[in-house]
Structure 1
């Protein structure tokens, strides 16, 4: 799964959650936006924030944005497995409210 922050209409960044059926990885992809613009867009979307070179995504909000309306029967189980894998790596807050994710920047590509 990828959370993208890309340039949107009127030069205002927009947030999109894509590849929602691929629950084997999760990262935050920044298009031609600054970290500050990405942080602002994520906060405005209610999906999280950027701190330094790390993204922090709200677990419940991300699930709500990512879960397909007609999801495969095992989607919820695969979501839970992804979160548990992240927890095992230390990438989930103690209360489970936030997932720490890797940033990929198009500007650095």
Structure 2
């Protein structure tokens, strides 16, 4: 799964959650936006924030944005497995409310 922050209409960054079927990896991809613009867009979308080279995504908001309307029967189980893997690697907050994710920035942003 990828959370993207890309340039949108009127030069305002947009946040999109894509590849929601792939619950084996999760990262934050920044298009031609600054870290500050990405942080502002994520906060406005209620999905999280950017701190340096680390993204922090709200678990409940991410699930709400990512879960397909007609999710496959095993989607929730795969979601839980993804969260457990994040916890086991120290990428989840103690209360499980957020996940730390790698930030990939576009060149020249």
TM-score by length of 1: 0.98
Cα separation, 1, equivalents of 2:43 and 2:85 = 25
Alignment partners' CA distance in 1, 2:108 and 2:81: 31
Q: Which runs of 5+ in 2 are unaligned?
A: none
Q: How does 1:38-57 map to 2 (within 5 A)?
A: 38-57=38-57
Find the residue that maps to 1:107 and give its secondary structure. coil
Any stretches of 5+ residues in structure 1 without a counterpart? none
- Please give the secondary structure, in 1, of the residue aligned with 2:102: strand
Please state whether the residue corresponding to 1:32 is helix, strand or coil: coil
Normalising by structure 2, report the TM-score: 0.98
Q: Aligned equivalents of 1:30 and 1:107: distance in 2?
A: 10
Measured at CA, do residues 7 and 96 of structure 1 come closer, stay the same or move farther in structure 2, by a change above 3 Å? same
Shift of 1:108: 5.6
Q: Which 4+ residue blocks in structure 1 deviate beyond 6 angstroms?
A: none
CA distance in 2, matches of 1:108, 1:25: 25
* Cα RMSD after superposing both structures: 1.1
Q: Given that residues 32 and 108 in structure 2 are in contact (C-alpha distance below 8 angstroms), is that contact kept between their aligned partners in structure 1?
A: no
* Alpha carbons of structure 1 residues 26 and 108: separation in structure 2 relative to 1, 3 Å: farther
Work out the CA distance in 2 between the residues paired with 1:108 and 1:26.
Answer: 23
Q: Counterpart of 2:60?
A: 60
Task: Output one character per residue of 1:2-34: Cα deviation in whole Å (capped at 9) or x when no partner.
Answer: 000000000000000000000000000000000
